Amino acid sequence: MGRVLSLDDLRKERERLRRRGKTFVFTNGCFDMLHRGHVELLKAARAMGDALAVAVNSDGSMRRIKGPRRPIIPEADRAAVVAALESVDFVTVFEEDTPERVIRALVPDLLVKGSDYDVAEIVGRDTVEAAGGKVVRVDLYGDYSTEEVFRRIGEIYGGGGAGGPGQR
């Protein structure tokens, strides 16, 4: 079970792991409605190294990216749920629209994203590769998506879901 840390505290953990020669893996996301696709991606990412850090978008960041009806789950709760997963060692919440600042602060050995992202659009790729790290795209598990979960909830309970068109 992981811990929710400030970026400064996570940076200290990163340095501790680096001194011990451990592989530090990083990914990020909104995790507004945790589903099996998220869990499988996080398990796969953790299997690639010795520690997995996950950066979770803040509520403000999500509103700017996903629209005014998001998030459904507040950032502290989303961070706590992600940290509770066996595969996750550390979680931090970031305010910006992208995790660029977090990636520059941590410089992970591996940056992992789902295969729904084109390599060219993966934020932080340049930072990681310039330091000798790798960017890895993980195949998505099934047809899971947060937007699909919200759409199904809308069908069942009325109201049509929480996101907007084109949401991941």
Which sequence spans correspond to the domains of the chain? 3-157
pTM of the predicted structure, to 2 decimals: 0.89
CATH architecture of 3-157: 3-Layer(aba) Sandwich (3.40)
At residue 147 the predicted structure's pLDDT band, cuts being 50, 70 and 90, is: confident
Answer whether the bond into residue 99 is a cis peptide, omega within 30°.
no
Residue 96 reports pLDDT greater than 80: yes
At 165 the pLDDT is 44
Distance CA(135)–CA(117), nearest Å, equals 11
